Structure 1
Amino acid sequence: MEYKETLPGGIIITRMQETHATQLEALQRLVFPALSEEELLHADQYRHHVKLFPEGQFVALDNDKVIGATTSMRYHFDIQHPEQHTFFEVMGGGWLTTHDPQGDWLYGIDVSVDPAYRNKGIARALYRARQHTCRALGLKGQMTVGMLNGYAKVQHEMTIETYYEKVKAKQLFDPTVSVQEKIGFEITGLMKDYLNDPTCGNAGAVIVLDAAKEV
């Protein structure tokens, strides 16, 4: 199942390859500097992802330079009753051991874009590539837990629960989750104690994107 999209400026969205692994680990460290070491993805893990579920792994390339990426897996998910889990647990310690070949949703582990290449539509294009996988495999759509990265600026003014409710009500703009909403995701819940990152109060918003939606 090949995939390729060329963006303005010649940036290419395509399938991840094992040869990208070293650059992908470096991109993780650049984009997610506050994540703990165990929550970062490493080169050996990327190589494993490509073998395990190649349909769910994409990169953005500027010539041979990896400047964006997304990792995903198939997962059983109940929108009405989402099970509490941590980022480390759901990604199988980074090895995607929780990938279910029969899962009816595409669980997005991450989307990363080199800061020097932002505002070029790369993240949206990576989500679009994931939509292609959802449709090709007949999945319900994609879901993830979006990091509430704007919480750090107001953490002394309100609880994470209050912040989440204000973002959901569009009273506050979150630099991650509100942007994901613009892409088409819908907020369905709060996942507390999801990861070890003080910038988001260790929490995230559960968000879903129906496979029928255009990105």
Structure 2
Amino acid sequence: MYKKTQYVLSGDKPTLVEIRDYGKPDFPVLIAIQQESFPPPFPPELWWNPEQLTNHVELYPEGALCTEVEGEMVGSITALLSDFNPAQPEHTWQDGTDNGSIRNHNPAGKTLYIVDICIRPKYRSLKLGQLLMQAMYERVVQDDLERLLGGGRMPGFHEFSDRLTAEQYAAQVVAGEIKDPVISFLLRCDRMPICVVVNYLTDEESEGYALLMEWKNPFRHHQQPPNRPNV
């Protein structure tokens, strides 16, 4: 299991942070964090429920992590193992995660697929999301996996969709011409774009689009697949 304690800076003050695996006693807080992190118009039916969380800790506990700040739980990240064909990257969040239940977790899979990451808004200045993502990169290296993969919501897209396609919007975010709350965060986490996915998730702000992004294990040899989609 995973447990890591370190300090982060809140202004000039060192603040103690712990990242650890989550369990059943944490479920009520995890659900509350989801509700606070993803307010409407995000669909409430996509918030975690106890059945999904039970699957997370029973099917792949190594992919169920949370973070605490001075003893208070403030965020989480969840993942599963899957197969991924880089030559055919398009899929939906529902298909990739079995609607968040991760019943499609494949213990032999070589791709660590991020199901969800969330941090309470008041704590986002501490860069805890990057620490959780780093913990997952460590899992990729520890278990000799090929990559970390996940679709990034594009919640800023609805403000530009009258004049930009989803691909144009993603390209401008990657170029630094537009800041997107999720995609810009994932870029700071060293994620690399693969392609824009249509109807990835029921998400009014993103108009259903997401940017599929990966982090490759630097200790494995990678071959570029033919005809790889570009943003």
- What is the CA distance between 1:155 and its match in structure 2? 2.2
Q: CA RMSD in A?
A: 1.7
1:1-215 to structure 2, matched below 5 A, reads: 1-8=1-8, 9-33=15-39, 34-82=41-89, 84-212=90-218
Paired residues of 1:67 and 1:114 also in contact (CA < 8 A): yes
Paired residues of 2:174 and 2:187 also in contact (CA < 8 A): no
Paired residues of 1:60 and 1:69 also in contact (CA < 8 A): yes
Quick check: 1-10 or 142-151, which moved more? Answer: 1-10
Distance 2:42 2:96 in 1: 16
- What is the CA distance between 1:77 and its match in structure 2? 1.1
Quick check: 73-82 or 114-123, which moved more? Answer: 73-82
Paired residues of 2:19 and 2:66 also in contact (CA < 8 A): yes
Provide, for residues 158-177 of structure 1, a one-character-per-residue CA deviation record: whole Å limited to 9, x for no partner: 22232123223443222211
Q: Secondary structure at the match of 1:190?
A: strand
Quick check: 26-35 or 167-176, which moved more? Answer: 167-176
Q: Secondary structure at the match of 2:108?
A: coil
Percent of aligned pairs with the same amino acid: 23
Q: Secondary structure at the match of 2:200?
A: coil
- What is the CA distance between 1:129 and its match in structure 2? 0.8
Paired residues of 1:17 and 1:50 also in contact (CA < 8 A): yes
Paired residues of 2:114 and 2:148 also in contact (CA < 8 A): yes
Determine which structure has the larger helix proportion and give its number. Answer: 1
Distance 2:180 2:87 in 1: 24
Quick check: 91-100 or 69-78, which moved more? Answer: 91-100
TM-score of the pair, normalised by structure 2: 0.85
Task: Give unmatched runs, 5+ long, in structure 2.
Answer: 9-14, 220-231
Q: Secondary structure at the match of 1:10?
A: strand
- What is the CA distance between 1:36 and its match in structure 2? 2.1
Task: Give unmatched runs, 5+ long, in structure 1.
Answer: none
- What is the CA distance between 1:73 and its match in structure 2? 0.3
Aligned residue pairs total 212
Distance 1:5 1:78 in 2: 35
Paired residues of 2:2 and 2:19 also in contact (CA < 8 A): no
Q: Secondary structure at the match of 1:198?
A: coil
TM-score of the pair, normalised by structure 1: 0.91
Distance 1:7 1:57 in 2: 21
